[in-house]
Amino acid sequence: MKLLRHGEPSREAPAVIPTGSDQVLDARPVTADFNSEFFEQDGLDRLQTAITRGELSAIDITGNRLGPPLKRPGKIVCIGLNYRDHAAEAGMAIPDEPIIFMKAPNTVVGPNDDVRIPRLSTKTDWEVELGVVIGIHTSYLDTPDAALEHVAGYVMSNDVSEREFQLERGGQWDKGKSCDTFNPLGPWIVTTDEMTNPQILDIWLDVDGRRQQSSRTSDMIFSVAHIVWYVSQFMVLEPGDLINTGTPAGVGSGKNPPHFLHPGQEMRLGIDGLGEQLSRIIATP
């Protein structure tokens, strides 16, 4: 099934599209929102039971804004340089282990919301990524073999980045990753019963109608299962946490010459089965 949220910012309502259907059902009889409590309290099972029993009403959300399908994750863990071609264009070595950095949870916005260029920014960049939503408490997994059992679903994520802030201003990458609106998410979370293999997906991004990124998740250096296992060795992953699994080649900083986003442009991106996003670039007042 697909989980989505619709309505104005901070007033979104949860809805669900059952597997094999295009009908949108109101999820509010089961949960007030798709948040950490929903996943922690067997929300997916309760939601599926309500669908099977016919307890949810069909709704029309035509014209409604889509919010991020996950309400403010507890944390956003990001994996850097997880595609060989992206590491090459960045002029960096293939990592021996996943590179981990964090992104502020309040960067998350809806899939079609505006993205704001930060003040003083000259190098705001795009990064289409497969996002992983954690479903159960995850710590010190023994091997990657059972790691996907800890995943609730998959979602499209745009890890928008300011490269000067990230790479030229000292310190960690986080300050180039955590600017306001820097994580468009959605349009929906696809649960693992509907998407059983996250490593066979086409992934792409256009800027103003021109293809910039085009790859497949099979080209990841570290698989989703490996990433979930690996991260669990260093921190506790909790229900509703988000992992951004890295971006393929084609980012603006990797072009020759480099080029970056500016107000008036549009980003359109997609991943097989996870829908599309369309974000307009605007200036920060």
The answer, yes or no, to whether residue 63 has pLDDT greater than 80, is yes
Q: Average pLDDT, whole number, for the chain?
A: 97
Q: Indicate the pairing of strand 242-244 with strand 76-80.
A: parallel
Q: What is the pTM of this model?
A: 0.97
What CATH number does the domain located at 71-283 have?
A: 3.90.850.10
Q: In the prediction, which pLDDT does 172 show?
A: 80
SS3 of the chain: CEEEEECCCCCCEEEEECCCCCCCEECCCCCCCCCHHHHHCCHHHHHHHHHHCCCCCECCCCCCCEECCCCCCCCEEEEECCEHHHHHHCCCCCCCCCEEEEECHHHEECCCCCEEECCCCCCEECCEEEEEEECCCECCCCCHHHHHHHEEEEEEEECCEEHHHHHHCCCCHHHHCCCCCCEEECCCEEECCCCCCCCCCEEEEEECCEEEEEEEHHHECCCHHHHHHHHCCCCCECCCCEEECCCCCCCHHHCCCCCCCCCCCEEEEEECCCCEEEEEEEECC
Q: Indicate the pairing of strand 183-184 with strand 108-109.
A: parallel
Tally of CB atoms within 10 A around 104: 16
The answer, yes or no, to whether residue 88 has pLDDT greater than 90, is no
The answer, yes or no, to whether residue 73 has pLDDT greater than 80, is yes
Per-residue pLDDT tens digits for 44-62: 999 999 999 999 999 999 9
The answer, yes or no, to whether residue 214 has pLDDT greater than 90, is yes
The answer, yes or no, to whether residue 66 has pLDDT greater than 80, is yes
Q: Which tokens belong to 77?
A: 């863990």
The answer, yes or no, to whether residue 171 has pLDDT greater than 80, is no
The answer, yes or no, to whether residue 92 has pLDDT greater than 80, is yes
**Averaged pLDDT for residues 236-247:** 98
Q: Where are the domains of the chain?
A: 2-66, 71-283
The proportion of the chain whose per-residue pLDDT surpasses 90, expressed as a percent, equals 94
**Averaged pLDDT for residues 99-106:** 97
Per-residue pLDDT tens digits for 120-164: 999 999 999 999 999 999 999 999 999 999 999 999 999 999 999
Q: In the prediction, which pLDDT does 91 show?
A: 86
Q: Which tokens belong to 183?
A: 């994580």
The answer, yes or no, to whether residue 81 has pLDDT greater than 90, is yes
Contact 200, 271 (CB under 8 A): no
Q: In the prediction, which pLDDT does 14 show?
A: 98
Contact 237, 92 (CB under 8 A): no
Contact 226, 148 (CB under 8 A): no
The answer, yes or no, to whether residue 173 has pLDDT greater than 90, is no
28-37, 44-53, 84-93, 219-228: range with lowest mean pLDDT: 84-93
Q: In the prediction, which pLDDT does 90 show?
A: 84
The proportion of the chain whose per-residue pLDDT surpasses 70, expressed as a percent, equals 100
Q: Pick from 200, 188, 152, 154: which is nearest to 275 by CA?
A: 188
Residue type at 103 in one-letter notation: K
Q: In the prediction, which pLDDT does 87 show?
A: 85
